[in-house]
Chains A and B, each alone.
Chain A
Amino acid sequence: MVIGSASSGHRAPLLIRGGRVIDPANGLDAVADVLLRDGLVGEVGRGPDGRGLTAPQGARTIDAAGLVVTPGLVDLHTHLREPGFEDKETIRSGTLAAVAGGFTSVCCMPNTEPTLDTAAAIQFVQRTARAAGVARVYPIGAITRGRKGRELAELAELAEAGAVAFSDDGDCVMDGAVMRHALEYSLIVRRAVVQHAEDTSLSAGGVMNEGPVAARLGLPGWPRQAEEVIVARDLQLAELTGAHLHVAHASTAGTVDLLRQARGRGVYVTAEVTPHHLTLTEDLVAGHWWSATASLPPYDARTKVNPPLRTGDDTAALVAGLKEGVLDCVATDHAPHTATDKRCEYAVAAFGIANLETTLGSVLSLVHEGKLDLVEAVATMTCRPAAVFNLPGGTLSPGAPADVTLFDPEREWNVDPHHFHSKGKNTPLAGHFLRGQVLFTVTGGEVAFER
């Protein structure tokens, strides 16, 4: 299958009937039919007589009664690991995981080997993704050569090759002058500079949130201030340069406050938050020691992620920030690792959670708890992220790419990583029940995933 070429008219039309269609960009939340043809959204509605759209000849029909039908989900922060770490994930396995989780578009991070800091590397990812033909992959180019934080990568050439943004994710651009210059230079191509905010002199060696739990476990702490000082600095630099700063994986209440203030004075800043920072806390690292209901043992490295899980006050502030719009969107920070990378001493284990297949369920848990409404939740994974990097998709407007996700918001399922399409089985949610599961994912008018 070839994704995204609007001219490929040989594909059979697809009619999705009778679902609850939520298209936040168009203010739509109603039972309706969605007709996809020629790789694009054709029509959304109930037809002239209100009895539904008519299926064109040769169309496949999906009965979506009882399901929620949304634009295909968009992820701004995915680690596909290829090239270089194919034991953790490949572009193919990662995009299969994406569609299994309802994501039709993923932006992949450049911390591969080699780094995505050349046009050739960007094109390799695009080519491989097209060959896999599962989901749309938008590569993010490195900010600096080799992600070393010193010299700028050829940002204009990366953008011409198709990089949708720039990031040294995994590492922070620590040098203030380099960050300033990256922001300034990004004005040439009008792409966001995505910062992994971590002052490494403050987080030095930290593997979990600094505070009572770390004190008890004897693990080196990663204080919230290590994130916030970089966010504060970068906001000043974004204001100075007028460039677009995007804050990756905001994890603290303080970051939300800084973003709110900066937005108030008109700084061009966007931000994302991960499902784990919205729903999980540092207590999980202490496992069933700290909470009798916890299913994990203490020091389980599946809880190890960068930035680390924080506190209940932080999750509350992050949810509020997402609802308010100070945080633009949810991003998975899908970080697959091998079992060996995680089955070891906590301090030695790799950072990251394989999130693509559980993100929707985690975000829906906020809906079930009454903290977000369903339309807001859908927006944070569709039109809102698409707008951040100005990506196609994220809506069901006629003429938009025919990317659609169908999920049952009530269906309960047990998270069994062995059933993941991702090679990464590393999630602290293993064994948990989530409510809300993807049943169909349509990419470019074709069913890319069907449960």
Chain B
Amino acid sequence: MFYPQFQLLKSPMDILNQVKQSILVPYGMQENDIDQIMDSMLTATVDNADIYFQSSHFESWVLEGGIVKEGSHSIEQGAGVRVVSGEKTGFAYSDQIELAVLLKAASNVKAIARQGQNAQRKVEDVKKRTDYYQVTNPLKSLADQEKINLLRKVDIETRKLDTRIEEVIVSLVGVYEQVLVANQDGSLVADIRPLTRMSVSVILEEKGKREQGSMGGGARTDYGYFLDQDKAVEYGKEAVRQAAVNLEAIDAPAGAMTVVLGPGWPGILLHEAIGHGLEGDFNRKGTSAFSGKVGERVGSELCTVVDDGTLEGRRGSLSIDDEGVPTESTMLIEKGILKGYMQDKMNARLMGVKSTGNGRRESYAHIPMPRMTNTYMLPGQHDPEEIVKSVKKGLYAKNFGGGQVDITSGKFVFSASEAYLIEDGKITKPVKGATLIGNGPDVLTKVSMVGNDLELDAGVGTCGKEGQSVPVGVGQPTIKIDGLTVGGTSV
């Protein structure tokens, strides 16, 4: 059977027509119905109003214990209507895309705005849009039998790698999402967003001791991504390698020490330590440890950090954000100096700047807010080996689990899942997972070396904020931090 790897990239107009066809037409809605809803909201002093239509098809397949145990499929659609007036937001949504229902929702939300002069349909500056992923439906990119064959192949290949393997779990997830954003200025923009993810986790057992390892990847593309260069099989290899390393791990050290972070996923440091603290809402409200610090030094000269939604096919990338604004590469920290914040429309307006295309929402049932896309540090001059060699005694952390930050105090954590001691300039014994803790506004001032080996993560990151989850990416080169607290047990 033939399944096209990619459809041709379509123009924004083609995308708009296709999305209208799948979100509006089946429910008997037309463009002038959208105008009618919008008009009904603009009878008050409104700064911004939008209607967000979304349709999302999701599937997942899970292999466990050598068999494809289950799969699930879901279809959701709905629309959210929002009115913003000053610092106030009124919001309602419905899973019924019907004029009468949405008019009622609109009448509920406009109560937020003071009654008064009718709002103008002001025309906003529109940045030029570029598309960063293909218009493709991952769910249809492989036949169901081929998806199963892929899971089985990964299971079989992984189990061959090590006799200590007790369990292999392989999962494959695909999302095909279509969104349509109607703005107060009369603009109507659409996006089609494919997203795939695959992961492998293993449990190894040796002499009664067990350990886990896991690896995955994904992108805004179709399942062909995992067949390319046998990526899926590589995830299995990497999961087994990590579990095997952890079987040998000794207790992690405790206390402040020099820490070298490997390239790629350890960039979760940037996401937690500075990324969240630089989101516009916290800074507009003055609740972030970074509030009012634009122009100040928050990192060493070696640190330049961007948030970039424009990377081709990346998990955190978006052609337009959920307010219809084209994404961009936003300079957050340039040579250690704080340059600016990530903004959605509302917070940009209140702070007197422009939206940076970071207005995101989990779904039509959630209010948009400033969120990260792909956050990473630019490469420096040093050979990674040279960086490790410069450390007499410290920790080398290569892989991480999750992280968290307290925006207000600036304290952040991220948990290493694969780490080693550095002794006399050499990476030596593996140590057990440990949480690293630091202070966001000063951790980058302690960065004394930056490698030339920038890597982005493999594409599995999900960020949670105020109960909303969105896919994101991180990345960095190898970096050396002079003094970070490592939460081991070996005191």
A and B co-occur in one complex: no
Binding site for B on A (CB under 8 A): none
Binding site for A on B (CB under 8 A): none
